[in-house]
Amino acid sequence: MNFERSKKLWKEAQKYIPGGVNSPVRAFQSVGMDSLFICKGKGSKVYDVDGNEYIDYICSWGPLILGHSNEFIYKDMYEVLQNGTSYGLCTEQEIKLAKLIVQAYPSVDMIRMVNSGTEATMSALRLARGYTKRSKILKFEGCYHGHSDSLLVKSGSGALTFNEPTSSGVSEDAIKNTLVAPYNDIEALEKIFQIYGEELAVVIIEPVSGNMGVVPAKKEFLQKLRELTKHYETVLIFDEVITGFRLSFGGAQEVYGVQPDLTCFGKIIGGGLPVGAYGGKKEIMEMVSPLGTVYQAGTLSGNPLAMHLGYQVLSYLKGHPQVYKYIENMAKKLEEGILETIEEYQIDATVNRLKGMLSLFFTKNKVESFEEVRKCNIKIFSEYFKAMLKEGILLPPSQFEGLFLSYAHSEEDIQKTLEANKKAMLLLK
């Protein structure tokens, strides 16, 4: 494989952009490589500037559930674009998307659009604090909720990839009210509530973590969390920025049958354009300005292009529920094939999967917590990543990110991936 042009651009990018990237996980640093420059995506594939083709398991980190450049989704984009890109005023598109989300999530009566997942979680926290008139928040180790200060503690995703789960520049003051608990640990949760329950404004959780690799919450854990938050009148936020409309149309809350007070969305609801949203019970949402006293605003919030694209994707998903079965089936085939090779070659590795979300971890232990995730062999992961890339398979370049499949991934893609996996694992033996 030739990476000449990517290498050239990589050098150039370092001069003008910190680390050459606009988001750290793109740097391929943890797998010891220079980053690739992508110039096109179609279906399940992306193409780099040197003309190499890859089966893509990044899918823009989740938004592209229908694959790249889906013609049905894009069909009216030019018409929308011709009417302008932003007005900073109300549009009908905002109502259409909001209505669709509200109808799909029984826990969401009202929703406010923002521009990213980070904004969604940051705003939802402020709202929960305004509503409860309390200050303390609880998050879980290894969960990532974007990069707002009070949530950038023991974080997953890029922060974990670079082994700095808490960022410098975050003041003591910003995190003095942030408590952190181990994921999936009911006993620890009960203890924290015994001590701090009455001071806790909010608990935020990824109901299926995708940011320490895929680690699903145990059902009993989420049920206990719901029970305790109800008892102590603490707002429960599900961060469904990844899982919303991915795990199922109704997200993780539908799959687990546990209803939060507020939900954060992002990724899929913008179809690949910058979007986030937070929504929930009317009583809480009515506290948002201009109805209430919790201020939150955005010049580009509810951007007409993003609203249109998001609506196109969600209406397609609504009309084609088979998408979820299909993606789950593909993920299951991947899981089974990978596990077969792990067994055959006696590799210290395991797979976590829930519905269409999955991760391969290089550890022989079952992975249910951040502590276990941190025991994974990152060096082996990086060898595996490179071996897969050579075979034309583009995985997320970090042990701590999940694989993203789309409706465009074919049986043939999965077979090719499993053949590549076999070759890559043979090298690791």
Ligand X SMILES: N[C@H](C=O)CCC(=O)O
Interface residues with ligand PLP (CB under 6 A) are 116-118, 121, 144-146, 206, 210-211, 239, 241-242, 266, 276
3-state helix, strand, coil in the chain (%, to 5): 45, 15, 40
Identify which of residues 56 and 401 has a Cβ nearer to ligand X in the complex: 401
Identify which of residues 110 and 357 has a Cβ nearer to ligand X in the complex: 357
- Provide, rounded to whole angstroms, the least separation between the CB of residue 401 and ligand PLP: 9
Contact residue for ligand X among 13, 25, 309, 342 (CB under 6 A): 25
From ligand X, ligand PLP, none, interface partner of 158 (C-beta below 5 to 8 A by class): ligand X
Task: Tell me the per-residue interface mask from 40 to 79 with ligand X, x by CB under 6 A, - otherwise.
Answer: ---------------------x------------------
Residue (of 394, 399, 421) closest to 409 by Cα position: 394
Contact by Cβ (8 Å): 40, 10: no
- Provide, rounded to whole angstroms, the least separation between the CB of residue 402 and ligand PLP: 9
**CB count, 10 Å around CB of 346?**
10
Identify which of residues 116 and 178 has a Cβ nearer to ligand PLP in the complex: 116
Give residue 309's identity as a one-letter amino acid code.
L
Identify which of residues 60 and 223 has a Cβ nearer to ligand PLP in the complex: 60
Report how far residue 23's alpha carbon sits from residue 423's, in angstroms, rounded to the nearest whole number.
31
Identify which of residues 6 and 107 has a Cβ nearer to ligand PLP in the complex: 107
Contact by Cβ (8 Å): 39, 9: no
Q: What angle do CA 353, 359, 360 make, to 5 degrees?
A: 115
- Provide, rounded to whole angstroms, the least separation between the CB of residue 78 and ligand PLP: 25
**Residue 205 near ligand X by CB under 6 A:** no
Non-local (6+) Cβ contacts of 143 within 8 A are 155, 156, 183, 204, 205, 206, 209, 211, 212, 239
- Provide, rounded to whole angstroms, the least separation between the CB of residue 143 and ligand X: 11
Contact residue for ligand X among 328, 372, 401, 413 (CB under 6 A): 401
From ligand X, ligand PLP, none, interface partner of 118 (C-beta below 5 to 8 A by class): ligand PLP
**Residue 270 near ligand X by CB under 6 A:** no
- Provide, rounded to whole angstroms, the least separation between the CB of residue 270 and ligand PLP: 9
- Using left for φ > 0, alpha for ψ between -120 and 50, and beta otherwise, residue 142 falls in left
- Provide, rounded to whole angstroms, the least separation between the CB of residue 29 and ligand X: 13
Both structure tokens of 242: 């990844």
The verdict on whether 56 is a catalytic residue reads no
The verdict on whether 136 is a catalytic residue reads no
Q: Would you call 306 exposed, middle or buried from its count of C-beta atoms within 10 A (0-12, 13-18, 19+)? A: buried
Which of these is catalytic: 48, 56, 185, 239? 239
Identify which of residues 3 and 28 has a Cβ nearer to ligand PLP in the complex: 28
**Residue 242 near ligand X by CB under 6 A:** yes
Contact by Cβ (8 Å): 120, 241: yes
Which parts of 119-158 interact with ligand X (CB under 6 A)?
144, 157-158
Q: What would the DSSP string read from start to end of 329-345?
A: HHHHHHHHHHHHHHHHH
- DSSP count for the chain of H helices, then E strands: 16, 15
| Per-residue 3-state assignment (H helix, E strand, C coil) for 57-75 | CCHHHCCCCCCECCHHHHC
The verdict on whether 173 is a catalytic residue reads no
Contact residue for ligand X among 23, 83, 322, 415 (CB under 6 A): 23
Report how far residue 376's alpha carbon sits from residue 399's, in angstroms, rounded to the nearest whole number.
8
Which of these is catalytic: 45, 136, 139, 267? 267
Contacts 24+ apart (CB under 8 A), 156-160: 156/209, 156/211, 156/212, 156/370, 156/400, 157/25, 157/211, 157/398, 157/400, 157/401, 158/23, 158/24, 158/25, 158/398, 160/211, 160/212, 160/373, 160/400
Contact by Cβ (8 Å): 274, 251: no
Identify which of residues 158 and 279 has a Cβ nearer to ligand X in the complex: 158
Which of these is catalytic: 105, 144, 278, 384? 144
Identify which of residues 251 and 276 has a Cβ nearer to ligand PLP in the complex: 276
- Provide, rounded to whole angstroms, the least separation between the CB of residue 208 and ligand X: 12
Contact residue for ligand X among 93, 118, 123, 211 (CB under 6 A): 211
From ligand X, ligand PLP, none, interface partner of 25 (C-beta below 5 to 8 A by class): ligand X
From ligand X, ligand PLP, none, interface partner of 270 (C-beta below 5 to 8 A by class): none
Residue (of 53, 84, 99, 62) closest to 275 by Cα position: 62
- Provide, rounded to whole angstroms, the least separation between the CB of residue 336 and ligand X: 25
**Residue 115 near ligand X by CB under 6 A:** no
- Using left for φ > 0, alpha for ψ between -120 and 50, and beta otherwise, residue 272 falls in left
> Residues with catalytic annotation?
144, 239, 267
Binding site for ligand X (CB under 6 A): 23, 25, 61, 144, 157-158, 211, 242, 401
